[in-house]
Structure 1
Amino acid sequence: MSTLTEASTLPSELAWAEPIRVEMIVGSVRPGRFVPVVADWFVRHAGSRADLTVRTLDLAENPPDFAARIGAADARAPYGG
């Protein structure tokens, strides 16, 4: 059984040409949240694998601009209906 910290040992015909990109999304934005501890643990362990590239998107630190995104969205029906 493999663990998160072990490098993948896939046969060469199954191995990816480049590392798989993983984006850890931290969705909790409330004060006193615990999730950064868990996210940091995951990123530390998954990031030690040669077959993964891991980044974190923390919505408390980088809140999305939903108003601009909604305003730019195309509200037309996709099939002309």
Structure 2
Amino acid sequence: MISGKMKWAVGTMVVLVVAIAIKSKDADDHKSCQCPQDSRKYTGIVEDCCCDYETVDSLNCGVLHTLLQELVRTPFFRYFK
């Protein structure tokens, strides 16, 4: 039997994966990341996880950059830059 905490954790992970998938699909249209593609310093597999540097870079550029840009436009960040 799955405990309440485990159900909550699994539910959170499902919501997170769906949100990232939707945001990454939407982010492909914007191309707002200004990082030059030839500036990639690392290639290959990241030692601490089962992914490669290209995947991390694309998520940073496509998903996190977009989310952070929306976040820094909130009133809170007008005072803390």
How high is the TM-score relative to the length of structure 1? 0.27
Task: Determine which structure has greater relative contact order: mean sequence separation of CA pairs < 8 Å that are 6+ residues apart, divided by chain length.
Answer: 1
From the CA coordinates, give the structure whose radius of gyration is larger.
1
Structure with the higher fraction of residues in helix conformation = 2
Structure with the higher fraction of residues in strand conformation = 1
